[in-house]
Amino acid sequence: MTINESKRNETADLLKGLAVLFMIQVHIMEQFTSHEVYNSIIGKLSLFVGGPPCAPVFLAAMGYFLLSKPKPLWYYLKRGGILFAGGILLNILRTMHLFIYILGDKVVYNPAFFIFGVDILSLAGLSIIIIGVVQLVFKKNYIAYLVSAIIITLITPILPMFGSDNSVLQYINAFLWGNYQWSYFSLFPWFAYVFIGVAYYLFTDKYPTLVDFNNRKLYLFLIPVLIIILATFNYGINTSYDLFGNLGYYNHGIKFFVWVVLFLFVYIVFIKFVDKYLGNNFILKFIKWTGKNVTAIYVIQWIIIGNIATVLYQTQNIYQNIAWFIAITTITSLIVLTWVKINAHIKLKDEDII
């Protein structure tokens, strides 16, 4: 199968499905879990699993598929604008319970921190808009995208010095780079992973045999990369756990970016083999389904977790966490399944009318 065929890429669905499930557990860890569990080795592993295999996978996959079919500029502007606005709306919906507490003077927080929180949906929206413009200049030059990704992560550490104390400009700056308590996935450095996805797509489109997983030469590169990842695994875990530190997970620079890209290479090859030999397993089919409906799953789980967190914030033990993960994943899946069936029914009726 070529990458331009209409058949779904099931490995991509599996990767995205795993990513959103990993993200559910890390949201539970961050929002529900007691300090004792959070600061334990279990907490560190949880944040790692909810780190490199999650957001970088989402963003790289998005970049990979964005240029798979020619689209006009208005498509990128419209889709990006909708996603960005959807990110702001999601911020409001997942914080409704907290807003009630704020209005009732039960807690004292600045609601703007939550409304304009820079999460991955707003990042995705801005990224799509930028890709729509940049692709007019870069065309199919994968080297230009790759170099740009490197430059983005190189300059990320120096960008905070250009910040502003102005109350309005702070919120604008937060979408561009981090170092704000309400900024998680800012354009710098996270946009670099979108460029990596685009570069990889263009490279595979130009040299398909070089990245064929049946090509044994590929594994000559895989082995030394695997050794590097295993030798530096502690660095990857510690950086993923250090969320807001200088050059921590959310504000990392070139060093962690290179580590994550190498990790993703090994991880994607591994998932490719899992899909090849176990892809028809019931559990993997469910994970692929979550990957196929990743945006809906992501939105629903955040609305549930965000509103429950107002009551349970940092109070749960590890066993309660597991129970919450099972319950929230199940409820989220049932809601999305219902939405998918209703949507399919509406489309079918439209087709009947036509």
Q: Could you state, in order of their start, the residue ranges of all structural domains in the chain? A: 1-50+280-354, 68-278
The percentage of residues in the chain with a pLDDT greater than 70, rounded to a whole number, is 94
The percentage of residues in the chain with a pLDDT greater than 90, rounded to a whole number, is 76
Looking at residue 340, its pLDDT comes to 93
pLDDT band at 218 (very low <50, low <70, confident <90, very high): confident
N residues, the chain: 354
Looking at residue 247, its pLDDT comes to 86
pLDDT band at 28 (very low <50, low <70, confident <90, very high): very high
For 292-327, the pLDDT digits (tens) are 999 999 999 999 999 999 999 999 999 999 999 999
Looking at residue 213, its pLDDT comes to 67
Looking at residue 348, its pLDDT comes to 60
pLDDT band at 69 (very low <50, low <70, confident <90, very high): confident
Looking at residue 238, its pLDDT comes to 96
The pLDDT of 153-174, averaged and rounded, is 83
Check pLDDT > 80 for residue 23.
Answer: yes
Distance CA 272, CA 177 (A): 33
